[in-house]
Structure 1
């Protein structure tokens, strides 16, 4: 699996400023975070750490990911932005995952979870995206969803309808997220939506990190 191969890469993208009196070596904490965000279940992650002589619980690794509060880096200036949303299930309830991606780099620019999908919520997502990145001159690539086009018009942002081509960047990201969340059941089970959203933000930071 290519994402597991990337575990040998740099972990400098993981910020451990949240650490106070953690008894686990920082190198092991970074590896634990990296493994879980890359796709290993909590159970498999603690098994690998145990083989390295670091005995920690599933909750400990879960807490590391949550406390690290990893998010995509701000300040990007993309020429095009692919925007879309898809359904994510949390505790058998339906939520909508909004995502914006740069087709030129395949980077995730912003992710958010909402309990439904409306023009007003789409406007909130776009406003947050504008606050994080320089997108005023970018062309947004969207499908035929009326609420996406309406929100972009209200925000004064340029867009064009595109069902394939560069807009596939965000579709690829959605496929990868769904593959990860379906590959182990303990990711979005028995958690609050905010916890799931935090994991998704961490995934985005890992996804964007250099190999």
Structure 2
């Protein structure tokens, strides 16, 4: 499991076991996990892809449960916050969904622990990395940001974006 996936799992697990007041009655999944799943689905991940991504974090739920969350939680979750991060970790990990490999890209603000973006791609390489970073730049002010990356592909993608 990549370091970023471990960090995301740790963030979710902090909320997962907590007894949160805003958790729905008789709901076994904490509100932050449901909100994260709704956000994943809103980025274009299918219900089944969202289910598999949650499984990476140790959250086992059916795609039907996620469907219910999307329809019950989506109206109550505000727009994602924008940020001007100083340090951002970016990483990807391969995941198998319905027998096919996909790559989950994620970026996190290391200072605030804010998940800046998550996106799923059908392939791996410099082009998806550049597309992910371009989308990240569209959503957040990255003018003074230091990126922590682990591969030369990201360096190429960052050079493409200036």
Q: Contact conserved, 1:7 with 1:35, CA < 8 A, in 2?
A: no
Higher relative contact order (CA 8 A, sep 6+): 1
Note the 1:74-93 alignment, pairs <5 A.
74-93=81-100
Instruction: Flag the 1:116–1:88 CA change in 2: closer, same or farther, 3 A.
Output: same
Displacement of 1:86: 0.9
Instruction: Flag the 1:2–1:124 CA change in 2: closer, same or farther, 3 A.
Output: closer
In structure 2, the residue matched to 1:4 is 16
Q: Structure 2 CA distance, aligned partners of 1:92 and 1:41?
A: 18
Q: Structure 1 CA distance, aligned partners of 2:14 and 2:154?
A: 33
Note the 1:5-44 alignment, pairs <5 A.
5-10=17-22, 27-28=24-25, 31=27, 34=30, 37=33, 40-42=59-61
Displacement of 1:133: 1.0
Q: Structure 2 CA distance, aligned partners of 1:93 and 1:3?
A: 30
In structure 2, the residue matched to 1:65 is 69
Q: Structure 2 CA distance, aligned partners of 1:138 and 1:66?
A: 32
In structure 1, the residue matched to 2:41 is none
Could you say which structure has the larger radius of gyration?
Answer: 1
The root-mean-square deviation of aligned C-alpha atoms, in Å, is 3.0
Q: Could you list the runs of 5+ residues in structure 1 that have no partner in the other structure?
A: 12-26, 44-57, 157-211
Instruction: Flag the 1:115–1:72 CA change in 2: closer, same or farther, 3 A.
Output: farther
Task: Return the TM-score normalized by structure 2.
Answer: 0.62
